[in-house]
């Protein structure tokens, strides 16, 4: 009897040991996701929702490292809800995952998704401890996740550098994507107007003359049609014009840092 009990105890110790190791992996993945959310928050001028998500993830990450059997699983589930809920329910996350042209938010969002999957799988299995030793899939799964993320970041980087930042000229219409105008330069002739179409992704924009570089100060726009804090959302189309005076008019969205464009009016 004694040897059987001793064996059972050793097996239980072994399960606790690898359970904690996987919990530590989950905790690290959640901390990485929290860091990425902090980066997104910084890009959005510390948007309250993103700061709150960062805080929730820090708590979940700490929880995953607690040596109490259900803790890593709970931490992993919270992290998965936050990290994977975005791409499924937030048009903003989906947009960034499919637009590596805006590389920083793309890289942060892609890392969040992979970290969320890793946290879920490792956290839940750390709590389940259903095998005697560390599950055999652990190493291949972690390498595959790392490889997938590295591949996505590399391909995205390639798209970013080749698609480049060169503005597309010649358009008289621009689209309002979540954080950018597409294209960023609109060329028209004097007397015509500019059409701005919201992408209907649930992200509102507030448009005015000015640019982020100039701290939002309004440049001289004498002769330009008025545009002062005009809100556009839900697929609305806004026509600004006509522009009667030739010139270059900088325009920006006052709630999305870096979102700016110019209207070039030729004779
Ligand atoms: Cu905007």
pLDDT tens readout for residues 49-87: 889 999 999 999 999 999 899 999 999 999 999 999 877
Q: Is the pLDDT of residue 182 over 50?
A: yes
Distance 228 CA to ligand 1 centre (A): 14
**Per residue in 104-129, pLDDT tens?**
889 999 999 999 999 999 999 999 98
pLDDT greater than 50 at residue 211? yes
Per-residue pLDDT, averaged over 152-165, amounts to 80
pLDDT, position 46: 79
pLDDT at 57: 97
Q: Are 177 and 223 in contact (CB under 8 A)?
A: no
CA of 206 to the centre of ligand 1 (A): 6
Q: Which residue has the higher pLDDT, 163 or 39?
A: 39
Q: Which of 165, 20, 33 is closest to 110 using CA atoms?
A: 33
Band of pLDDT at residue 1, cut at 50, 70 and 90: very low
Structural domain 173-266, CATH architecture: Sandwich (2.60)
| Beta pairing class for 247-253 and 260-266 | antiparallel
The DSSP bridge partners found for residue 261 are 251
Give me ligand 1 centre to Cα 184, in Å. 13
d(CA 98, ligand 1 centre) in Å: 18
In this prediction, residue 23 has a pLDDT band, given cuts at 50, 70 and 90, of: very high
pLDDT in tens, 256-265: 888 899 998 8
Say how far apart CA 82 and CA 59 lie, in whole Å. Answer: 12
Cα 249 from Cα 232, distance rounded (Å): 19
Q: Which residues of the chain are in CATH 2.60.40.420 domains? A: 173-266
Quick one: average pLDDT of 197-209?
87
For residue 29, the model assigns a pLDDT of: 98
Which residue from 71, 57, 79, 75 is spatially nearest to 16, judged by alpha carbons?
71
- In the reported structure, the alpha carbon of residue 180 is separated from the centroid of ligand 1 by a whole-number distance in angstroms of 7
* pLDDT number for residue 84: 93
165 pLDDT higher than 60: no
Distance 231 CA to ligand 1 centre (A): 9
Query: Could you give the percent of the chain with pLDDT greater than 70?
Result: 92
Cα(68) to centroid of ligand 1, in Å?
45
Q: What is the mean pLDDT of residues 178-201?
A: 87
- pLDDT cut 90: percent of the chain above it: 46
d(CA 176, ligand 1 centre) in Å: 7
Q: Mean pLDDT, to the nearest integer, of 239-265?
A: 88
Model confidence at 169: pLDDT above 60: no
pLDDT of residue 173: 86
Cα 259 to ligand 1 centroid, rounded to whole Å:
6
Flag whether pLDDT at 201 surpasses 90: no
Mean pLDDT of all residues in 162-187? 74
Over 50: is that where the pLDDT of 168 sits? Answer: no
Confidence of residue 97 (pLDDT cuts 50, 70, 90): confident
């Amino acid at each position: 009897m004694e040897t059987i009990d001793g064996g059972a105890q050793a097996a239980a110790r072994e399960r606790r040991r690898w359970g904690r190791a996987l919990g530590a992996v989950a905790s690290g993945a959640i901390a990485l996701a929290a860091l990425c959310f902090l980066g997104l928050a910084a890009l959005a001028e510390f948007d309250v929702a993103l700061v709150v998500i960062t805080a929730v993830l820090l708590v979940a990450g700490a929880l995953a490292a607690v040596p109490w059997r259900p803790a890593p699983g709970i931490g992993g589930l919270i992290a998965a809800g936050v990290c994977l809920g975005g791409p499924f329910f937030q048009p903003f996350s989906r947009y960034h995952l499919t637009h590596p042209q805006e590389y920083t938010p793309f890289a942060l969002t892609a890392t969040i998704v992979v970290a969320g999957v890793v946290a879920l799988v490792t956290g839940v299995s750390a709590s389940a401890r259903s095998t005697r030793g560390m599950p055999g899939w652990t190493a291949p799964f972690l390498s595959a996740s790392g490889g997938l993320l590295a591949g996505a970041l590399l391909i995205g980087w390639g798209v970013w550098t080749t698609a480049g930042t060169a503005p597309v000229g010649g358009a008289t219409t621009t689209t309002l994507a979540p954080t950018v105008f597409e294209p960023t330069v609109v060329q028209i002739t004097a007397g015509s107007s500019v059409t701005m179409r919201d992408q209907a992704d649930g992200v509102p924009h507030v448009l005015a003359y000015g640019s982020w570089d100039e701290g939002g100060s309004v440049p001289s726009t004498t002769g330009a049609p008025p545009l002062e804090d005009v809100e556009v959302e839900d697929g609305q189309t806004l026509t600004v014009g006509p522009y009667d005076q030739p010139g270059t008019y900088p325009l920006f969205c006052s709630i999305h840092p870096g979102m700016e464009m110019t209207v070039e009016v030729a004779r």
